[in-house]
A and B are shown apart, each in its own frame.
Chain A
Amino acid sequence: MVRRSGEIHNVRGLGISDHVCWVFDDPECYHARLIEFFADGLDLGLRLAYFSDGPPDRLPHDLRGLDGVDELTARGALQFHSVDDVYGSGPVDPDVLLENCAAATDEALAAGFRGLRVAADATSLLRTAEQRDAFARWERRLDQYMLRHPVSALCAFRGDELGSDAAAEIVCLHPLIRPETSPYQLFSTTTADGADTADFAGVGLRGELDLLALDLLTRTLNRAVGPVPAPMWVIDATGLGFIDHLNLVALDDFARCRDTTIVLQTVLSGPARLARILRLNSVQVEVLT
């Protein structure tokens, strides 16, 4: 599946496996993106799944601007799900959610749709650190699943309620994000040499990794990334604009704990010089020309 990655200002024109995180303060801003995302999804022939923590009778208001909500609902092209019913109140269970997502995708395909398009405001699921760690693991599993299946998702959160640091814990796991909502992105992708396998999707790394990203990177690696391939884990870092020694050492520490070697594919030559100076044992920098 061809997927986009990077920073975006709207959600128009996204594909059947694209995965975007939209942090918002203004509900109208989220609403505009929601309608864009769903309207495009209908044009692509996708079944729409809208997740909300509001009552069912708010659906027409939440999706105002989307034509024919009643007709879409009646013919199964638009489904409404309660956040409480699907996610529960405590930390989410990624295994259960992935099963549900896979089943819903299969149902959509069986019903004649080209895939599933999901939108959710998950703010209420991210209030505690424990909730965010579990949700981060879920986002990672979902993103890996989406790489090879026709599921696209708009994951939205209230930035003013969570705070930028808490929001970044989830934002950083999406291939498409709003500018300045995370110092980096770690997501599933097909690597330059097609190194993804049946068990492990390739991983892409974008953004800039310095002192302000260090705690977030360490947390993401230790709490959300999950199993990684060994003896070598190839990371497509062609979108990485900068990495300092603290973050290279963090990657080295993580790789050593997981008995693997990280191969960081980058277009920058600086990280290779830095890795030689540091004499890292578990990170190799491969400069792509």
Chain B
Amino acid sequence: MRTGAAAGHRGFFHETALYGSEQELLSILTPFLVGGVDAGEPTLVALGEANERLVRSAIGRSPKISYLSGTYSRPASVIASYRKVLAAHVADGAEQIRVVGEIPNPGLGEPWDWWARYEAAINHAYDDFPMWAICLYDTRITPADALADVLRTHSHVATADGRHLANDHFEDPVAFLNQRPPARGDALEASAPMVELIDPTPAAARRALRGVRLAADALEDLMIAVSEAVTNAQLHGRAPVRLRAWAGDDRVVVTVTDPGPGPTDPFAGLLPASDSPRGGCGLWIVHQLCSHVTMSRDGDGFTLRLVAGSAKLPVPSQAG
């Protein structure tokens, strides 16, 4: 039997908590975490370093709480990991799993667009499981447009005075994902690309980028991602396929554009297109190997943008 605000709910109970101080954060999280432990429910904490320290010192030692450091790396990877963890808990008999999470904040320069897609997509991706999640956002640093997206993607809001309110701003995830604004280009794209290829083979694409300066693992991952992106365009897009690439001091940006409409699946890239790896995996793999990925449509067609290396953006000047 599920407990707390999620009692009687089927599937994923997706709540956000907007806090403006450490006291507000603890007011929201302490009853949530203690409630999970008392109910014997798996209780997972996936926070940034500072907030994890805060919670640990407030809650004290509790072997019943699992701390998952460094969880939020790439949205597609997070979904795959959580689904595996949730399935294991359900197989062990868990009737509810509580999770508190803190996504890399755009107020600190982390790219927001793909995490906004993540917040919408998990309403579908985690709905197979009895999961109650609280997603934390610090109103002191989170930009206003990101907060607006947060309210559109969470069905409930947890407040510091202990309420769990139904959220009137919540939108159907498919509708949210289909209405995303066009992705912004990277600043490097303002200059001439170092590579521009028309209808490259996957091998030609890899050859053109093999000399870029990246750490060894990041370079290998970029080779795979670029090859998968070109392969995907050849299999599912239309000719001509145009690949462009730019290299900066700390990152490489690659765009692959074709005049086709792009994927129609609103969850493309965040989930594999089918349950089997036998097809529809290219975009999903790209999303797990790159520091940032965007997909957009305009007059030129469909563009997949990959970033390897640092994906951090200039910190916004105002928040909340």
Chain A interface residues (CB < 8 Å from chain B): 183, 208, 210-212, 242, 244-246, 249, 253, 268-270, 273-274, 277-280
Given contacts A212-B202, A277-B285, contact A245 B221 (CB under 8 A): no
Contact between B281 and A278 (Cβ–Cβ < 8 Å)? yes
Contact between A270 and B221 (Cβ–Cβ < 8 Å)? yes
A sample of 25 inter-chain contacts (CB < 8 A) reads A210-B203, A210-B227, A210-B231, A211-B235, A242-B223, A242-B224, A244-B202, A245-B277, A245-B282, A245-B285, A249-B277, A253-B278, A269-B216, A269-B217, A270-B217, A270-B221, A270-B224, A273-B221, A274-B285, A277-B77, A277-B285, A278-B281, A278-B285, A279-B277, A280-B277
Contact between B203 and A245 (Cβ–Cβ < 8 Å)? no
Closest chain-A Cβ to B219's Cβ sits at a distance in Å of 9
Whether B255 is near chain A, meaning CB under 8 Å from some CB there, is: no
Contact between A244 and B220 (Cβ–Cβ < 8 Å)? no
What CA separation (Å) do A278 and B285 show in the bound complex? 9
What CA separation (Å) do A153 and B187 show in the bound complex? 57
Q: With a CB–CB cut-off of 8 A, which chain A residues contact B203?
A: 183, 208, 210, 212, 242
What CA separation (Å) do A277 and B234 show in the bound complex? 22
Closest chain-A Cβ to B232's Cβ sits at a distance in Å of 10
Given contacts A242-B206, A244-B228, contact A249 B201 (CB under 8 A): no
Question: Interface size class for chain B?
Answer: 20 to 34
Query: A211: which of B221, B234, B285 is its contact (CB, 8 Å)?
Result: B234
Whether B80 is near chain A, meaning CB under 8 Å from some CB there, is: yes
Whether B257 is near chain A, meaning CB under 8 Å from some CB there, is: no
Query: B227: which of A244, A253, A268, A273 is its contact (CB, 8 Å)?
Result: A244
What CA separation (Å) do A242 and B223 show in the bound complex? 8
Q: With a CB–CB cut-off of 8 A, which chain A residues contact B77?
A: 277
Q: With a CB–CB cut-off of 8 A, which chain B residues contact A246?
A: 231
Closest chain-A Cβ to B235's Cβ sits at a distance in Å of 7
Closest chain-B Cβ to A274's Cβ sits at a distance in Å of 6
Closest chain-B Cβ to A136's Cβ sits at a distance in Å of 23
Q: With a CB–CB cut-off of 8 A, which chain B residues contact A244?
A: 202, 224, 227-228, 231
Whether B6 is near chain A, meaning CB under 8 Å from some CB there, is: no
Residue in A211, A212, A273 with the greatest tally of chain B CB atoms within 10 Å: A211
Closest to A212 in B: B201
What CA separation (Å) do A61 and B227 show in the bound complex? 48
Whether B153 is near chain A, meaning CB under 8 Å from some CB there, is: no
Closest chain-A Cβ to B74's Cβ sits at a distance in Å of 11
What CA separation (Å) do A183 and B227 show in the bound complex? 15
What CA separation (Å) do A211 and B228 show in the bound complex? 9
Contact between B288 and A277 (Cβ–Cβ < 8 Å)? yes
Contact between B281 and A210 (Cβ–Cβ < 8 Å)? no
Closest to B76 in A: A277
What CA separation (Å) do A244 and B224 show in the bound complex? 6
Instruction: Kindly supply a per-residue 1/0 record for chain B positions 203-224, scoring 1 wherever the CB is within 8 Å of any chain A CB and 0 otherwise.
Output: 1001000000000110011011
Residue in B80, B202, B221, B289 with the greatest tally of chain A CB atoms within 10 Å: B202
Closest chain-A Cβ to B304's Cβ sits at a distance in Å of 16
What CA separation (Å) do A210 and B80 show in the bound complex? 24
What CA separation (Å) do A40 and B77 show in the bound complex? 56
Instruction: Kindly supply a per-residue 1/0 record for chain B positions 224-241, scoring 1 wherever the CB is within 8 Å of any chain A CB and 0 otherwise.
Output: 100110010011000000
What CA separation (Å) do A242 and B201 show in the bound complex? 14
What CA separation (Å) do A86 and B220 show in the bound complex? 48
Closest chain-A Cβ to B274's Cβ sits at a distance in Å of 12
Q: With a CB–CB cut-off of 8 A, which chain B residues contact A211?
A: 202, 231, 234-235
What CA separation (Å) do A83 and B217 show in the bound complex? 51
Instruction: Kindly supply a per-residue 1/0 record for chain B positions 255-287, scoring 1 wherever the CB is within 8 Å of any chain A CB and 0 otherwise.
Output: 000000000000000000000011001100100
What CA separation (Å) do A269 and B282 show in the bound complex? 18
Contact between B80 and A245 (Cβ–Cβ < 8 Å)? no
What CA separation (Å) do A249 and B272 show in the bound complex? 14
